[in-house]
Structure 1
Amino acid sequence: MTLSRISLATLFAVAAVSFGANAAGSFVGNTGKVTFKGSVVDAPCNLAPGQDGTDIKVDFGELSMSQLNAGETSARTFDIKLENCNMGTEAAKKTAEITFTSQDQLAGQNLLGTNGSAKNLAIGISNITFGTAKTLTGLIDGDNTLTYTAVAQKAATDDVTAGDFTASTTFKISYK
Structure 2
Amino acid sequence: MNFKKVALASVMGLVLAASAQAADQGHGKVTFTGSIIDAPCSINPDSIDQTVNLGQVSNVALKASGNTGTSVPRNFEIKLENCDTTTLKSVKTTFTGAEGVTDGSLGITGTAKGASIILTNGDGE
Q: Which residue of 1 aligns with 2:60?
A: 67
Q: Residues 62 and 70 of structure 2 are in contact (CA less than 8 Å); yes or no, is this contact kept in structure 1?
A: no
Higher relative contact order (CA 8 A, sep 6+): 1
Q: Which residue of 1 aligns with 2:107?
A: 112
SS at 1:98 equivalent: coil
**Greater share of residues in strand:** 1
SS at 1:13 equivalent: helix
Shift of 1:26: 2.7
- Map 1:1-176 onto structure 2 (within 5 A): 3=1, 5-27=2-24, 29=26, 31-50=27-46, 52=47, 54-61=48-55, 63-68=56-61, 70-71=63-64, 72-74=69-71, 75-88=73-86, 95-102=90-97, 104-106=98-100, 110-115=105-110, 119-120=111-112, 122-127=115-120
Shift of 1:66: 4.8
Structure 1 unaligned blocks of 5 or more: 128-145, 150-176
SS at 2:117 equivalent: strand
Structure 2 unaligned blocks of 5 or more: none
- Percent of aligned positions that are identical: 33
SS at 1:78 equivalent: coil
Shift of 1:34: 1.2
The two structures, once aligned, show a CA RMSD in angstroms of 3.3
For normalisation by structure 2, the TM-score amounts to: 0.66
| 1:25-49: CA deviation from partner (whole Å, max 9, x where unpaired) | 23454x3321112121222211111
For normalisation by structure 1, the TM-score amounts to: 0.51
- Provide the aligned length of Structure 1 versus Structure 2: 117
Q: Residues 47 and 83 of structure 1 are in contact (CA less than 8 Å); yes or no, is this contact kept in structure 2?
A: yes
Shift of 1:58: 0.8
**Greater share of residues in helix:** 2
Shift of 1:106: 4.0
Q: What is the identity, as a one-letter code, of the residue corresponding to 2:20?
A: A
SS at 1:58 equivalent: coil
